[in-house]
């Protein structure tokens, strides 16, 4: 069985998340920007991960995950997202507080603990930010969703996830009253700057910028 350090697990998760974001091949600079670490340090770590056969790394050709690397990354992400559910649902953390704590808890190496945590939570399919939780076999449930700013005028749907899960963005959504599960309808789309006005739960209207709307994912 391949043994990874905490730092190596963090890199592997970052590479997988960059792949999830649509990058077929991940560069050293991509990882450096994502993790806010100097490129030289990233290169050193990629060499180590390559030696452990969890990635295929060749300088100037980008990084590709091996099948074994993908399995390990999904296991780390499964733990992270289950812990986020636990922190929000059982310990009453807000959704903007959980990422840092879950970053620590995701390194727990007890499969039995994670299986029992999953069962205790009722086998959740999505974390508090709407991201899918891989099951124990690494299968990920997906659902069709589009960015809020891509919905047509008078179109409607339900907020199911966010692209940007930074604490600042989540606090902003709390402030304006946009949340996972909210029903929305697009009331106005401003041609000049792409900003939109939406109706939330048939009660409250919210005016938001194109950038904010582009970071909210909706299922129609």
**Is pLDDT at 19 greater than 90 in this prediction?**
no
Share of the chain above pLDDT 70, in %: 98
pLDDT at residue 60 in the model: 74
pLDDT in tens, 104-123: 999 999 999 999 999 999 99
First-to-last C-alpha distance (Å) of the chain: 43
pLDDT at residue 23 in the model: 63
Domain extent listing, the chain: 6-65, 146-219
Rounded CA separation 189/152 (Å): 8
Q: Which CATH superfamily is domain 146-219 in?
A: Ferrous iron transport protein A (FeoA) (2.30.30.90)
- Common-topology check for domains 6-65 and 146-219: no
pLDDT in tens, 21-33: 666 678 899 999 9
| SS3 category, 196 | strand
pLDDT at residue 21 in the model: 66
pLDDT at residue 212 in the model: 97
CATH architecture of structural domain 6-65: Orthogonal Bundle (1.10)
Mean pLDDT across the chain: 94
Q: Which residue, among 93, 8, 109, 106, has the nearest Cα to 57 in the 3D structure?
A: 8
pLDDT at residue 59 in the model: 77
Question: How big is the chain, counted in residues?
Answer: 220
Rounded CA separation 220/55 (Å): 37
Rounded CA separation 214/31 (Å): 23
Rounded CA separation 42/44 (Å): 5
**Is pLDDT at 164 greater than 80 in this prediction?**
yes
Which residue has better confidence, 39 or 77?
77
- What are 216's strand-pairing partners? 162
pLDDT at residue 189 in the model: 97
């Amino acid at each position: 069985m391949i043994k990874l350090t905490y730092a190596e697990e963090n890199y592997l998760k970052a590479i997988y998340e960059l792949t999830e974001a649509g990058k077929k091949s991940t560069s050293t600079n991509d990882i450096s920007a994502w993790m806010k670490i100097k490129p030289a340090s990233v290169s050193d770590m990629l060499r180590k991960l390559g030696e452990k056969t969890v990635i295929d790394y060749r300088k100037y050709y980008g990084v590709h995950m091996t099948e074994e690397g993908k399995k390990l990354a999904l296991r780390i992400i499964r733990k992270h997202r289950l812990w986020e559910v636990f922190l929000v649902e059982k310990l009453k953390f807000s959704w903007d507080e959980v990422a840092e704590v879950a970053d620590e808890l995701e390194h727990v190496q007890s499969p039995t603990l994670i299986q029992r945590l999953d069962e205790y939570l009722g086998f959740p399919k999505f974390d508090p930010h709407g991201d899918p939780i891989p099951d124990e076999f690494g299968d990920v449930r997906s659902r069709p969703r589009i960015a809020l700013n891509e919905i047509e005028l008078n179109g409607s749907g339900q907020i199911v996830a966010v692209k940007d899960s930074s604490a600042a963005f989540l606090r902003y959504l709390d402030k304006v009253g946009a949340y996972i599960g909210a029903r929305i309808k697009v009331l106005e789309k401003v041609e000049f700057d792409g900003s939109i006005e939406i109706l939330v739960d048939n009660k409250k209207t919210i005016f938001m910028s194109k950038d904010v709307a582009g970071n909210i994912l909706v299922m129609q």
